[in-house]
Amino acid sequence: MRDTVHNRPTPQGRPGTATPACSGKYLSLTSFRRDGTGVATPVWFVEADGRLLVKTDAGSYKVRRIRRHPRVTIAPCTATGRLRGTPVPAWAELLPDAEIRRVDQLIARKYRVDLLVIKPIRSLQAALHRRRRRGTPVVLEIAPF
């Protein structure tokens, strides 16, 4: 059987759809470089229909690493990335663009107050770094093993 998103054989240990509940605002998402070195990134996430969903930039390095190999680890963390739990092996998958709007709404609901502070800061960063444009958004589904 082949994984249609990644066009490679689907691993035997691929998780089902059931995802345990995750609390908190931040999730440390660790993707892996070609040499096996893990790169952890704190991300906002929402839980919907038993799935953990993360919205990010399609051109980000974490997405590039996940496209190459979808094996990741996840753990609750602080905004600065300090772990608040034990990392758990997981599988990341890029979802269709049709999910972006729904995930935007879920994130807006969960992070309402945070967005009031973060959006102006992001706008200022974008103005200061005109050469570095934000790319197309994508949604990642994260499923622990």
Could you state, in order of their start, the residue ranges of all structural domains in the chain? Answer: 2-10+21-144
* List of E strands, the chain: 2-3, 8-9, 26-32, 38-44, 46-48, 51-57, 71-77, 88-94, 137-144
pTM reported for the whole predicted model: 0.77
**Which residue ranges of the chain lie beneath pLDDT 70?**
1-21, 122, 125-126, 129-134
pLDDT given for residue 42 in this prediction: 95
pLDDT given for residue 115 in this prediction: 75
The Cα–Cα gap between 72 and 31 comes to 5
pLDDT given for residue 39 in this prediction: 98
Q: By C-alpha distance, which of 65, 15, 71, 62 is closest to 42?
A: 62
Q: Which two tokens stand for residue 86?
A: 């034990």
The Cα–Cα gap between 57 and 132 comes to 12
pLDDT digits (tens, 9 = 90+) for 107-124: 999 998 777 777 777 677
* CATH number belonging to domain 2-10+21-144: 2.30.110.10
CB 90 within 8 A of CB 73: yes
CB 103 within 8 A of CB 142: no
pLDDT given for residue 88 in this prediction: 95
